[in-house]
Amino acid sequence: MQKQTFLTKNQQIVLNLVEKSSQPLKAYSILFNVQKKGIKAPLQVYRALDRLVEIGKIHKIESRNAFIACQDSSCQISKATAFSICESCEKVTEINNSKLSKYLKNFKDNSGMKYSKYNLEFFGVCKKCKNK
């Protein structure tokens, strides 16, 4: 049997929830919200999340241990991600800036290491919060 290329039921349930949310969701908050759909255990959520991250449907916000739907429909894989995070309201937005991604994809330091992936998180206070 080949590795699945479609989404399984649990993956679809989790993805639907994460896509509906405008904010990153935590794993146990996802669990709580999908229990009525038959997902009972943390591992079922984590497994779905793992795969969804792997195929680029969602991203993990590492500094928040939370998951957000990919906002770029053409994204197939989570290997070049950048986010802006408001430290006041915790709003997270995926940054889709071709100059930035080009710059980072081509970045080379003197370590001789080839980078196949990066994750960038910017922090600040968003416009809305600043005007409060």
Partner DNA sequence: TAATGTTTTGTTATATTATAACAATGTGTA
Partner DNA sequence: TACACATTGTTATAATATAACAAAACATTA
Residue 56, C-beta contacts closer than 8 angstroms, at least 6 positions apart:
70, 75, 76, 77, 78
Select from 41, 63, 72, 102 the one that contacts a copy of itself (CB under 8 A): 63
Q: How many residues of this chain bind DNA (CB under 7 A)? A: 24
Per-residue exposure over 56-81, b if at least 16 CB sit within 10 Å of its own CB, e if not: bbbbbbeebebbbbbeeeebeebebb
61 binds DNA (CB under 7 A): no
Is residue 2 at the binding interface for DNA, with CB under 7 A as the rule?
yes
- Part of the chain binding a copy of itself (CB under 8 A), chosen from 15-23, 27-35, 36-44, 90-98: 90-98
Give least dist CB 35 to a copy of itself, A: 27
Q: What is the DSSP letter of 45?
A: H
φ, ψ (nearest 5 deg) of residue 88: -95, -55
Binding residues vs DNA (CB under 7 A): 1-4, 8-11, 26-29, 38-44, 46-48, 50, 65
Binding residues vs a copy of itself (CB under 8 A): 62-63, 84, 86, 93, 95, 97, 100, 103-104, 107, 109, 111-127, 130
